[in-house]
Homo-oligomer: A and B are copies of this chain.
């Protein structure tokens, strides 16, 4: 339990220094590095940055901060897009870069136990010899703790699920310094509240994740990927809807609009036609992959899909998906002198065409560049809105486009964030999406963190 010494701010820093030595940093450069993520928020720096090496240190850090009333903010790879890990109320940023180990791989149970600072690519590198992989792949090489905290997904969620489905258990340091363990290594359990699911997506507002037990998947026997072009967006999106409804177990099915395809071409030797595209991948036995690819090819052709280019060699596939993962950078590079506003709506699959087409039409009418890419097999897509840097009027206009997308998602029975999370950026839509359920989130927060010290200013009612 909390040993509530009235430390004061200076006393807290002294206690942290005693605990961590030079793994406490008060330098302006370090603080500034932890005051900005990849989203559009201005610098909001913490008062200090700490680099713990184990869960016990994290618990002690939290206890010290609680004693001084200092906010505690977790930091993984700093790749979030909605201001999740920046420090609007100051406090201590807990950077997990030294807690980046694979603690255990249990191939027979298809489970890995990892520390939160490990990145998804780091994990998959370590898994290479096992025949297993961890599928969840947001664009960035994010940390697994951060991915759990934002309930991240990516291109493979259509087949393997999001972090919700791929975290079996957690170790969490609570606001009072207690360490708890959620979940087990068994594939399922029916023993009380699903605390694992509660902390996945809680964005560090209920505690700090210090260890994750992750579900792994077998490398498929055969993999095949392809790109195909469509005459128009409508054809591409309707092909996705028909494919999903047909039950083909797609491993990936990604939409890339004409502007995004042009950005890909500019960054690589892809040399795609000037058209909207789908990028797809099939996993299974040789026979299953051939069958799935054949069925998808027929559906795509029905909707005007053409110019299929297959990536059969592993290095070709790697290049293809690296291009997709770098979409954000490619689209930024294709539009120099612009400030990015990311969007991230997700709708029921039956409303996807409507959602994408209305969005594209409104963006086109605005004159602001806004290339669209999306994990469309999940009904999830992103427009990267790119107003001229420093043009306040265009910024406002782009923010209005983003707000209209959020409103559109809700009107169509969807959600304002498919995978990026709320942070500070989407707070303004929480009441519209959740109503009284948002207040229930607030009540849970108040119960577990009554002093509001865990990542304050994010996600919850009263944060503005």
Contact = CB atoms under 8 A, between A and B. Distances in A.
Given A106-B350, A182-B434, 4 more contacts: A108-B349, A186-B378, A190-B417, A191-B422
A430 B184 CA distance: 13
A421 B194 CA distance: 12
Task: Kindly name the residue among A288, A344, A421 whose own CB sees the greatest number of chain B CB atoms within 10 A.
Answer: A288
Contacts of A150: 190
A448 interface: yes
A197 B164 contact: yes
B434 A443 contact: no
A190 B204 CA distance: 14
B418 A189 contact: yes
Interface string A407-422: 0010001111111111
Task: Kindly name the residue among A108, A193, A194 whose own CB sees the greatest number of chain B CB atoms within 10 A.
Answer: A193
A192 B379 contact: no
A444 B328 CA distance: 39
A157 interface: yes
B198 A419 contact: no
A346 B185 CA distance: 9
Interface in A179-237: 179-182, 184-195, 197-198, 200-202, 206, 218
A436 B106 CA distance: 26
Nearest to A244: B110
B186 A415 contact: yes
The 4 closest A-B pairs by CB, nearest first: A197-B197, A447-B447, A108-B350, A189-B415
A295 to B, nearest CB: 9
Given A111-B348, A193-B441, A448-B443, A379 B187 contact: yes
A167 to B, nearest CB: 11
A191 B434 contact: yes
Nearest to A165: B165
Contacts of A191: 415-417, 421-422, 426, 429-430, 433-434
A257 to B, nearest CB: 20
Contacts of A430: 191-192
Interface string A245-261: 10100000000000000
A100 to B, nearest CB: 23
A58 to B, nearest CB: 15
Q: How many copies does the complex hold?
A: 2
A126 interface: no
B379 A435 contact: no
Contacts of A111: 348
A192 B434 contact: yes
A441 B197 CA distance: 13
A307 interface: no
A291 interface: yes
Contacts of A459: 192
A174 interface: yes
A25 interface: no
A218 to B, nearest CB: 4
Interface in A40-96: none
Given A191-B417, A430-B192, A441-B193, A181 B380 contact: no
Contact of A441 (B164, B192, B409, B417): B192
A103 interface: no
A427 B241 CA distance: 46
Contacts of A186: 346-348, 378-380, 409, 413-415, 418
A274 B111 CA distance: 36
A358 interface: no
B413 A184 contact: yes
Given A349-B108, A447-B447, A440 B195 contact: yes
Nearest to A150: B190
Interface string A152-168: 11000100011011000
A3 B201 CA distance: 33
A109 interface: yes
Contacts of A180: 434-437, 440
A111 to B, nearest CB: 7
A36 interface: no
Interface string A347-384: 11110000000000000000000000000001110000
30 contacts: A109-B349, A110-B245, A111-B348, A151-B190, A153-B188, A162-B190, A164-B197, A179-B436, A182-B434, A184-B413, A184-B414, A184-B415, A185-B414, A186-B380, A187-B348, A187-B349, A187-B378, A187-B379, A188-B418, A189-B417, A190-B419, A191-B416, A192-B430, A192-B459, A193-B201, A194-B197, A194-B198, A194-B200, A195-B437, A284-B288
